[in-house]
Amino acid sequence: MTIKILTLFPEMFQPFLATSIIKRALEKNLINIEVIDLRQYSNDKHNHVDDTPYGGGKGMVIKVDVVKRALDANSSQMTKVLLTSPRGKTYKQNMANQLAKEEEILILCGHYEGFDERVLNYVDEEISIGDYVLTGGELAAMVIADSITRLQKGVLATGSFEDDSFQTGLLEYPQYTRPTIFEGMSVPSVLQNGNHEEIRKYRLYESLKLTYLRRPDLLVNYKLTKEEEKMLEKIKNESLQNE
């Protein structure tokens, strides 16, 4: 898979591409990430890519003709073109799962007061990583690229992400490691007894509990099994008793 990132600040991606899992994935050719400088597609001798907005107002707007030249040079019919934008669809794990199946993705990093609205004619989807505004779309592009990269075959060890928060529809259960006791706090005994069925039930219960208490909105569309229905009822009763 190839991820292309079209940006005004390519230098921001140098540490991102040279660190940890992303670096190893690139070295093993498990994914290809290309960072492209939008300024090289300006036809202005000063490499300007923006101009003042029609109708007046503060800030600068990125020009549609510059973006179109960049897209023509770096995309094809098989390329999924994304635009990072605070008004886009909120990015979630199911979107990462779908994007991870694409052959090629191009992420256009938003900046300044945004893009000329006509740019949307050449974009497949606008994506927001949350209800807040960043100085630019570079950080959002890194988030998207990271979430997609870790899903590629061979990037993580088998089974490493299947139980992650949001991957199953629930928040992930609590994790523990050595030391067994630290400042009076002990690892739950069920995780030490070697009974795999009891451990499975404990983890499922804790996932449901965390989701119910912290992100109940995730349960709205989550299809509960009979086992989970009983667990959730117990969790609700315990919550009422603790109020």
Which residues are the active-site residues? Answer: 86, 113, 150, 164
Based on the domain organization, do 111 and 217 belong to the same domain?
no
Mean residue pLDDT of the chain comes to 93
Decide if 158 is inside a domain: no
In this predicted model, what pLDDT tens digit does every residue of 38-55 receive, in sequence order?
999 999 888 999 999 999
Output the pTM of the full model: 0.86
Based on the domain organization, do 139 and 187 belong to the same domain?
no
pLDDT bin (cut points 50, 70, 90) of residue 149 is very high
How confident is the model over 173-179, as a mean pLDDT? Answer: 93
Based on the domain organization, do 104 and 29 belong to the same domain?
yes
Q: In which domain, by residue range, is 224 found?
A: 181-242
Higher-confidence residue of 161 and 194: namely 194
Q: Which residues contact 26 (CB under 8 A, 6 or more apart)?
A: 17, 32, 33
Decide if 40 is inside a domain: yes
Q: Is 71 helix (H, G, I), strand (E, B) or coil?
A: helix
Based on the domain organization, do 94 and 35 belong to the same domain?
yes
